[in-house]
């Protein structure tokens, strides 16, 4: 550890908007990050103080918490905000409390296996699997950086998680849902999910400019992040697409426009300027949880198998496939990232196939009303 007085260092803004502060010590660059210039500068000052006092961490004394910090910084530019927040939550809630102070050199497979056990005993197998994923990714990065000789997560039993089978509504269930939700303020949104197969975030981000010529243009996704409405790119490259509307979907959007116009008049100056298709009564973007909770309450009231907003998308695909529609057409309509070999074989049929998909789902929805 050097006792030389550290230099001034540099503070610069990165392309992803974050701030990076760097300092050369003993011929090696030390780097810290912050969401603002002030935060990065403060961390740089702390780094200088540690250097002057000879308290900089020895590379051989790196801890699991140090690794998690570096891992989260490294992957942040490549992840959606919501995904990064979820990884950080997993790290802070489950990994740091149990292993954070442990030196990397002491991170053995048996310690990791014990980390999963309490979650598995409570039946939280999906969470245990996510913990394994985040820690495994971090350790993999440590191997690439030569912080670890091998990835200890490769030598543990991976937590098993089997997704519960989704209940797919029958045509009678669908008819009950459509009749039972008539007049509900969220029915236009639910019908759009049913008739297009859009993801909830894609539907919530739609603007009225995205609705034209009997179709919706899906180019973005929306959600609240730390209480702030955030617009991002679709989940996959294939997620950017134009989806033809069946008559039931088009009618749902007309009802939504009329409903929103009434809300706007009622709210007056309290209306939040927004061109979003789906909003609350004052023009605010909708929370995913609001949509999901209302849907569950409706299902309970109607005696229907519980379904999530994503379940409506799943039902859309199931109805189309049950009618014999080609898998590549359904894959394109849903915006799936990997349609596979079938997509390449049937690519020449996609041209008018989306209109066929709209006609099929429209006929099914009309038949149940």
pLDDT of residue 349: 34
φ/ψ of residue 107, rounded to 5: -80, 95
For domain 171-367, the question of CATH label 3.50.50.60 is answered with no
Instruction: Write the CATH number of the domain with boundaries 60-163.
Output: 1.10.150.130
Query: What is the distance, to the nearest Å, from the Cα of residue 35 to the centroid of all Cα atoms in its chain?
Result: 21
Task: Check residue 210 and report its DSSP letter.
Answer: G
Q: What is the mean pLDDT of residues 147-170?
A: 79
Check pLDDT > 60 for residue 154.
yes
Confidence of residue 45 (pLDDT cuts 50, 70, 90): confident
Confidence of residue 47 (pLDDT cuts 50, 70, 90): confident
**1-56 fold:** Double Stranded RNA Binding Domain (3.30.160)
- Are both 60-163 and 171-367 of the same fold? no
Nearest Cα residue to 369 out of 169, 173, 194, 175: 175
Q: HSE of 169 in the Cβ direction (CA atoms, 13 Å)?
A: 28
pLDDT of residue 224: 86
Q: HEC string of 106-131?
A: HCCHHHHHHHHHHHHHCCCHHHHHHH
Q: Is 137:151 a contact under the CB 8 Å cutoff?
A: no
Domain parsing of the chain, residue ranges: 1-56, 60-163, 171-367
362/356 Cα distance (integer angstroms): 10
Q: What is the mean pLDDT of residues 248-273?
A: 93
pLDDT of residue 4: 38
Q: Is 341:222 a contact under the CB 8 Å cutoff?
A: no
Q: What is the mean pLDDT of residues 237-254?
A: 89
Averaging pLDDT over each range in 150-164, 242-256, 354-368, which range is the top one?
242-256
Of all residues in the chain, the percent with pLDDT exceeding 90 is 44
- Range scoring the smallest mean pLDDT among 3-12, 69-78, 138-147, 183-192: 3-12
Q: What is the mean pLDDT of residues 86-91?
A: 92
Confidence of residue 57 (pLDDT cuts 50, 70, 90): low
Task: Check residue 158 and report its DSSP letter.
Answer: P
pLDDT of residue 295: 95
φ/ψ of residue 12, rounded to 5: -135, 155
Check pLDDT > 80 for residue 105.
yes
CA angle at 245 for the pair 177 and 266, rounded to the nearest 5°:
70
φ/ψ of residue 188, rounded to 5: -55, -40
Q: Is 221:233 a contact under the CB 8 Å cutoff?
A: yes
Task: Check residue 23 and report its DSSP letter.
Answer: E
Can you point out the beta strands (E) in 191-345?
211-212, 215-218, 221-225, 228-232, 241-244
Check pLDDT > 50 for residue 293.
yes
Confidence of residue 97 (pLDDT cuts 50, 70, 90): very high
Relative to beta strand 215-218, strand 221-225 is unpaired
Nearest Cα residue to 358 out of 160, 171, 195: 195
Q: What is the mean pLDDT of residues 161-166?
A: 58
Q: Six-digit token pair at 109?
A: 């497979």
For the entire predicted model, the pTM comes to 0.61
pLDDT tens across 312-340, in order? 988 888 777 767 777 777 788 888 766 44
Confidence of residue 350 (pLDDT cuts 50, 70, 90): very low
């Amino acid at each position: 550890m050097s006792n030389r007085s550290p230099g001034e260092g540099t503070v610069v803004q990165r392309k992803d908007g974050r701030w990076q502060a760097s300092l050369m010590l003993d011929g090696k660059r030390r780097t810290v990050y912050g969401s603002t210039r002030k935060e990065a500068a403060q961390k740089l000052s702390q780094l200088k103080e540690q250097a002057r006092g000879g308290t900089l961490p020895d590379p051989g004394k790196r801890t699991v918490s140090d690794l998690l910090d570096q891992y989260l910084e490294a992957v942040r530019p490549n992840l959606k905000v919501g995904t990064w927040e979820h990884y950080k939550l997993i790290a802070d809630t489950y990994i740091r409390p149990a292993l954070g102070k442990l030196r990397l050199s002491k991170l053995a497979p048996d310690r990791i296996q014990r980390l999963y056990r309490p979650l598995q005993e409570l039946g939280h197998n999906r969470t245990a699997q996510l913990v394994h994923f985040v820690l495994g990714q971090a350790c993999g990065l440590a191997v690439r950086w030569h912080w670890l000789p091998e990835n200890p997560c490769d030598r543990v039993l991976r937590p098993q998680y089997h997704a519960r089978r989704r209940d797919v509504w029958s045509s009678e269930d669908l008819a009950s849902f459509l009749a039972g939700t008539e007049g509900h303020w969220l029915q236009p949104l639910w019908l759009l999910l049913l008739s297009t197969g859009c993801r909830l975030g894609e539907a919530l981000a739609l603007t009225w400019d995205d609705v034209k010529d009997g179709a919706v243009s899906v180019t973005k996704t929306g959600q609240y992040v730390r209480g702030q409405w955030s617009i991002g790119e679709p989940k996959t490259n294939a997620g950017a697409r134009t989806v033809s509307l069946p008559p039931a979907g088009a009618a749902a959007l007309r009802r939504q426009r009329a409903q929103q116009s009434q809300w706007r008049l009622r709210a007056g100056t309290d209306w939040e300027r927004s061109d979003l298709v789906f909003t609350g009564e004052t023009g605010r973007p909708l929370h995913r949880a609001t949509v999901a909770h209302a849907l569950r309450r409706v299902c309970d009231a109607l005696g229907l198998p519980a379904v999530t907003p994503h379940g409506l998308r799943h039902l859309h695909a199931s109805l189309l496939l049950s009618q014999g529609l080609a898998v590549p057409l359904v894959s394109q309509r849903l915006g799936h990232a990997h349609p596979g070999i079938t997509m390449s074989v049937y690519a020449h049929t996609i041209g008018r196939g989306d209109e066929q998909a709209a006609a099929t789902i429209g006929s099914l929805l009309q038949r149940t009303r």
